Structure 1
Amino acid sequence: MKSLIIQQIEENGGFLSFADYMGLCLYHPKHGYYMTGSQKIGIEGDFYTSSSISEFYGAVMARWFIKKVEAGEIPPVFCEMGSGTGAFIQPFLNEWKRISPSSYQEGVVYCIETSPYHAAALDSLEVFVLSSIQELPDAFSGVFYSNELFDALPVQIAQNREGRIEEIGVGADQGKLIFKAREDHQDSLSDYLIWAEITLPEGYRAEIPIAMLGLLENLQNKLGNAYIVTADYGYFSEQLQTRKKGTIRGYKNHILIPDPFKHPFQMDLTYDIPLTAYIKKAAEFGWVKAAVQKKTEFFWENGLTDFLQETSDPNPFSKAAKDNRAIRSLLSHEGISESFYVLIHKKRG
């Protein structure tokens, strides 16, 4: 399948932008990593998410959502983009139905999932499965939510070389994929770095989140009165400009792969989203910032501890014992949640 990438490089004059390379590897209709029918998440996959660690993540978010609905801030409408196999939305629905059956009966839930493999796993749930954001009703009002979505969207790469910003893309040398540099045409990458308040030292790289900014613009055009809730890992600009090689990496069998060309089409590719750019773009759209906090803090504030179970069962492998361990891992300031941020903004239609 590497030949498919090399063909694209040749057809583009010997240079393929990293965004195009990442898009091919992850989203090619036939060969893309997310488009094929293999397990991606959990112990049998390549990486974990908070939803795959504990079902109570979805339950906590349901409680937060219901408070907004019952306060009259939003209608009982929820959309998750990048739903995967439903590890988040299934417990979300269960908790919503359990504690607020009346609003549940009136509610509508959309799941946006581009992968046919994952979309098929959602068919048994009481949700509308969509393949793209364009299929959402216009002026959508409610909550638009995603978890670890933006970090899998294609990015360009910029590098400072001898005081000038150049684009780092993909080339081929004797059948091997390599990084290749070219001029920053029209200074688009330079303009982004200035706007995002990133100053790259000599030889340093940074990702340019063209797809992330494009999705935020789509949300601006598509949503009405809505909360936009994004959970993802990332850094602020002052941190990003200290990462000499940028933050692009792969994951396969739960092993971090620094070389993004190691297993094209067969591993996840990801990066740390630029939080400063996300927040700044939201402000330009007029979205009101409600929260920017570590996921650990979000869990503590929204009652994840309520799901801890008292048990006298000495069996460490009982369901209660395993559930409690998973919850404590999400609440720990040394666990996975501490690597993630929850960004909550309110958009007025």
Structure 2
Amino acid sequence: MTQAPTLLQQIRALVRQRQGIPFNDYMQLCLYAPGLGYYMRPRRRIGAQGDFFTSSSVHRLFGRLIARQLQQMAELIDGPFTLVEQGAGEGHLALDILDALQQSWPDLYERITYRLIEISPDNRDRQAALLQTHSTRVSWCGEQELAPFRGCFLSNELLDAFPVAVVEKRQGQLLEVYVVEQQDRLVEQLRPARPEVVQHFARQGLQPAEGCRAEAALGVSCWLEGVAARLQQGFVLTIDYGYPAAELYAPFRRQGTLLCYQRHQASDNPYQQPGEQDITAHVDFSLLQLEGERLGLETLYFERQYRFLMALGFIEELLELQRQACDAQQACALRLTLKNLILPDGGMGDTFKVLIQGKNVGQPALLCQRPIRAISLAATAGDGC
């Protein structure tokens, strides 16, 4: 008996006991059931041998550019600077940030405390092994154990893995997807949406169009409340794929954004091999900003990833890396790799967004706000790949 069928048995037992469960409960089990969920078992998830790529797995430059923005943020805060990262995967972004700080901004490196919030025992072990050279700067804690701090709360591809309720609008009524068992199979059943789901959309002033599906990450507001309560002064830096609400719930998005990933193959069927595939949904950035304002987190910056990276020196850093390349072929391969981070038209550079919120920091002119026109045209010359 393998672990995946054991998880399936657990899900079926709960479905029978409760005569159906909301989709977000099903997704919670698939991803986070202790010892059985996708993120809770030892497995390779990120990279060529895993199920998907992240920006930090493309190249260390991603972390270096974020470190540059963090360095400026730290200048605005006196005393110790705490960087909290939640959902750090295998720890590659943390390693790249700490390496960059140690090399280029040693004073900040000596000031910084890097706190990792990680619920996956497997990921914690991988992070500890990878970050061994920075052990004096790194520590781990649970979400509820995080003490009040001044600094920055960082997440990269965290919120897309929050369990979501799935709804569909029919004849003007908001219906919710429940998972039920039928002829020994898990299938969907539409029921009137729960009050908390209706309230989620009411806060936005938006609902999916008639005949369309959409997702609601019900846990995001509670999560942001916890972050805002612990952040005394500083920033919340959120990087993920998603859209503002008006685009997320647009009529052309008839099937919503729910997708599954296994071995770099996308699927829209979350009911096959529970626990063996990642399940994600695009982030509602309007909700983050709306709830943030309510909680004292002021929106300072919201942009597509390619503009964020370009403003922080992507082109200049690329040219420097090219100069260090051994030959023209290696330089060309480097350019092709790094272009993945800024590709528009549905690529990482366009689909991924960056949101920076601030608390008790005023309205600083952030480095990432540098306009594209400020980048020297000479810097882009000679790109033949």
Give the TM-score normalised by the residue count of structure 2. Answer: 0.85
| Aligned equivalent of 1:46, options 46, 51, 70 | 51
Q: Does 1:5 find its partner at 2:5?
A: no
Cα deviation, 1:274-318, whole Å, max 9, x if unaligned, reads 1211111111112111100001000001112232222574463x4
Cα deviation, 1:210-232, whole Å, max 9, x if unaligned, reads 11122111112222112000001
Could you tell which deviates more after superposition, 211-220 or 18-27? 211-220
Match of 1:342 in 2: 354
Could you tell which deviates more after superposition, 83-92 or 176-185? 176-185
Does the Cα contact within 8 Å between 1:74 and 1:142 map onto a contact in 2? no
* 1:179 counterpart letter in structure 2: E
Partner SS for 1:35? coil
* Alpha-carbon distance, 1:161 to partner: 2.1
Could you tell which deviates more after superposition, 25-34 or 94-103? 94-103
Could you tell which deviates more after superposition, 296-305 or 320-329? 320-329
Match of 2:84 in 1: 79
Match of 1:165 in 2: 174
Q: Does 1:30 find its partner at 2:35?
A: yes
Partner SS for 2:175? strand
Q: Does 1:121 find its partner at 2:126?
A: yes
Within 2, Cα distance between the matches of 1:328 and 1:293? 18
Match of 2:158 in 1: 149
Partner SS for 1:88? helix
| Aligned equivalent of 1:327, options 327, 330, 338 | 338
Match of 2:146 in 1: 136
Q: Does 1:230 find its partner at 2:230?
A: no
- CA gap of 1:314–1:147, structure 2 versus 1, over 3 A, is same
Does the Cα contact within 8 Å between 1:294 and 1:342 map onto a contact in 2? yes
Q: What's the Cα RMSD here?
A: 1.9
Within 2, Cα distance between the matches of 1:312 and 1:110? 34
- CA gap of 1:207–1:74, structure 2 versus 1, over 3 A, is farther
* Alpha-carbon distance, 1:331 to partner: 3.0
Partner SS for 2:350? helix
| Aligned equivalent of 1:100, options 97, 102, 105 | 105
Please list, as runs of the form range in 1=range in 2, the aligned pairs for 1:291-310 lying within 5 A after superposition: 291-308=301-318, 309-310=322-323
Does the Cα contact within 8 Å between 1:198 and 1:240 map onto a contact in 2? no
* 1:50 counterpart letter in structure 2: S
Within 2, Cα distance between the matches of 1:174 and 1:45? 33
Please list, as runs of the form range in 1=range in 2, the aligned pairs for 1:202-281 lying within 5 A after superposition: 202-241=210-249, 242=251, 243-281=253-291
- CA gap of 1:11–1:348, structure 2 versus 1, over 3 A, is farther
- CA gap of 1:72–1:141, structure 2 versus 1, over 3 A, is closer
* 2:244 counterpart letter in structure 1: F
Identity %: 28
| Aligned equivalent of 1:15, options 5, 17, 20 | 20
* Alpha-carbon distance, 1:74 to partner: 7.5
Does the Cα contact within 8 Å between 1:76 and 1:104 map onto a contact in 2? no
Does the Cα contact within 8 Å between 1:122 and 1:129 map onto a contact in 2? no
* Alpha-carbon distance, 1:200 to partner: 2.4
Unaligned runs of 5+ in 2: 362-385
Partner SS for 1:63? helix
Within 1, Cα distance between the matches of 2:197 and 2:292? 20
Within 2, Cα distance between the matches of 1:51 and 1:249? 21
* Alpha-carbon distance, 1:116 to partner: 0.9
Please list, as runs of the form range in 1=range in 2, the aligned pairs for 1:50-69 lying within 5 A after superposition: 50-69=55-74
Give the TM-score normalised by the residue count of structure 1. Answer: 0.93
Q: Does 1:288 find its partner at 2:298?
A: yes
Within 1, Cα distance between the matches of 2:77 and 2:191? 53
Within 1, Cα distance between the matches of 2:325 and 2:153? 40
Within 2, Cα distance between the matches of 1:102 and 1:35? 36
- CA gap of 1:128–1:95, structure 2 versus 1, over 3 A, is closer
* Alpha-carbon distance, 1:261 to partner: 0.8
Cα deviation, 1:137-184, whole Å, max 9, x if unaligned, reads 1x2110000000000011112222222212212111122111112222
Unaligned runs of 5+ in 1: none
- CA gap of 1:342–1:312, structure 2 versus 1, over 3 A, is closer
- CA gap of 1:211–1:100, structure 2 versus 1, over 3 A, is same
Within 2, Cα distance between the matches of 1:65 and 1:135? 23
Cα deviation, 1:177-196, whole Å, max 9, x if unaligned, reads 111122224x3322221211
- CA gap of 1:314–1:79, structure 2 versus 1, over 3 A, is same
Within 1, Cα distance between the matches of 2:339 and 2:169? 43
Within 2, Cα distance between the matches of 1:266 and 1:179? 20
Could you tell which deviates more after superposition, 289-298 or 95-104? 95-104
Within 1, Cα distance between the matches of 2:79 and 2:203? 33
- CA gap of 1:78–1:323, structure 2 versus 1, over 3 A, is farther
* 1:115 counterpart letter in structure 2: S
